[in-house]
Amino acid sequence: MKLKDLARELGLSLTTVSRALNNYPEVSDDTRARVKRVADRVGYQPNIIARGLAVGEIGAIAVMVPKESTSYLDPDTIEFLVGIAEVLAPAGQDILLVQSSRDESLETCRNIIESRRADAIIICYPAPVDSRVRFLADANFPFVVYGKSRTPVAHTWVDIDHRDAAFRSTAFLFERGHEKIAAIEGPVQFAFAEERMAGIRRAFDQFELPPCIINDTFCDYTGYEHTLRLLRQASPPTAFVYGSLLSAIGGGRAIRELGKQERIAVVTQDNGVPYLSPKNILPRMTMTSFPIREAAKRVAQQTIRMMDVNAAIETESWKPRLISIAQSGRD
C-alpha cells in the first residue's frame, strides 16, 4: 500500500493525502479526518526510505560504543543504551547500534554520516583526544559525546565527574588512615580513565604518597588477578579503589580467597546497574554512585536538541554521590 494507492482510493491527489497525514494546516479538517480514517483502516504505513530520501532524514540515531577485540558489551554500556532507548523510542527515533574498535572508529563515523545512515551520532566513552569529535564538528553533523574528552573543539557532552569521584574515593581511604592504597583503573585509551587517574593522583599528592595505579580492562578476572597479585606482595595494600564495579567484584573475590575480607577496605565506582547489586558482594564496599541510565537520558535529550540546526553547545557534568559503608579498614 503506497501513497498513490491510498490517494486513488480516496479520490484525492497524492499531495493532499500526504499533507493530511503530515498535519499540514492548509487541508480542511474533514478531509484530514477522512484521509486519516481510511489510512488507518487499510493500514497504510509510509515507506520510511522514500520519506527519508525526500526529507533528508532517516529517523535513526547512531550510538557508537567501543568494541575491543577481547571484550563484550559490558553492563555499564548496556545500561547506557537502555537510558538512550527510553528517551529516543518515544521520540520516534530508532537506534542504530554501532560497535567499532578504536582504530576504525573514525572511518565508521565517516561512513555513517556520508551514507546518511543516521541523523545524529552519540559517541560513548571517547578517547582522551578523539578524532571523531573534530570530524563531526567540522562536518557540522549533530552529535553528543558521553564522556569529557580533551579534544580541543567545542562540542556538546555529558559526563559524570570522574575526576572528582576518584579523588573523593581515594581521599576517603586516606582519611581513614590507610597509607597503602592501590587503584585498579580502566584502559588509558579512554578519557574517563584519564580523568579518574587525575583525581587519584591529586589525592595521592595531597597526602604526599606515591600513587599506585593499574590500568586494565574492567572485568571480573582482571580485578581478581591484579588484586591477588598485589595482596601477595611483601607489604600489600590495605585498601583498594576500583574504577568499576566489575573489577571490584573480581577484586572482592581475591580478597575473600585470601581470607582478608575483614582487613581490606574497598571503594568502587557504581553505575547503578540493577542486576549488579553491591549487596551481593563481599567485602562490603563504599562507593561513588551515579545511575548511568540517567546520564544516558540526558545524552539522548541533548542529542535531540542538537538536531535543531542552530542549537547551542552545552556541557553537563554530574557529581556522583559518595555512599559510605561501614567497613573494615585500619581505623
Q: Which residues bind its own copies (CB under 8 A)?
A: 1, 43-50, 52-53, 58, 60, 72-75, 78-79, 81-82, 85, 89, 94-99, 110-111, 114-117, 219-221, 246, 249-250, 252-253, 274-275, 277, 279-281, 293
**Closest approach of Cβ 256 to DNA, in Å?**
58
**Closest approach of Cβ 30 to DNA, in Å?**
8
Q: If binding is defined by CB under 7 A, does position 53 make contact with DNA?
A: yes
For residue 329, the partner it binds in its own copies, DNA, none, with Cβ less than 5 to 8 A by kind, is none
Query: Residue 103 CB: number of other CB atoms within 10 A?
Result: 7
What is the spatial distance between Cα 176 and Cα 75, in angstroms, rounded to a whole number?
31
What is the spatial distance between Cα 146 and Cα 132, in angstroms, rounded to a whole number?
13
For residue 111, the partner it binds in DNA, its own copies, none, with Cβ less than 5 to 8 A by kind, is its own copies
Q: If binding is defined by CB under 7 A, does position 16 make contact with DNA?
A: yes
Helix ranges restricted to H, 159-275: 162-175, 191-206, 220-231, 245-257
Amino acid at 178: H
Contact 137, 153 (CB under 8 A): yes
**Closest approach of Cβ 13 to DNA, in Å?**
3
What is the spatial distance between Cα 264 and Cα 261, in angstroms, rounded to a whole number?
6
What is the spatial distance between Cα 44 and Cα 6, in angstroms, rounded to a whole number?
8
For residue 26, the partner it binds in its own copies, DNA, none, with Cβ less than 5 to 8 A by kind, is DNA
Sign of the alpha-carbon torsion through 204, 208, 212, 213: positive
Among 33, 37, 47, 232, binds DNA (CB under 7 A): 47
The binding site for DNA (CB under 7 A) comprises: 2-4, 12-16, 18-19, 21-22, 25-29, 31, 46-47, 50-51, 53-56
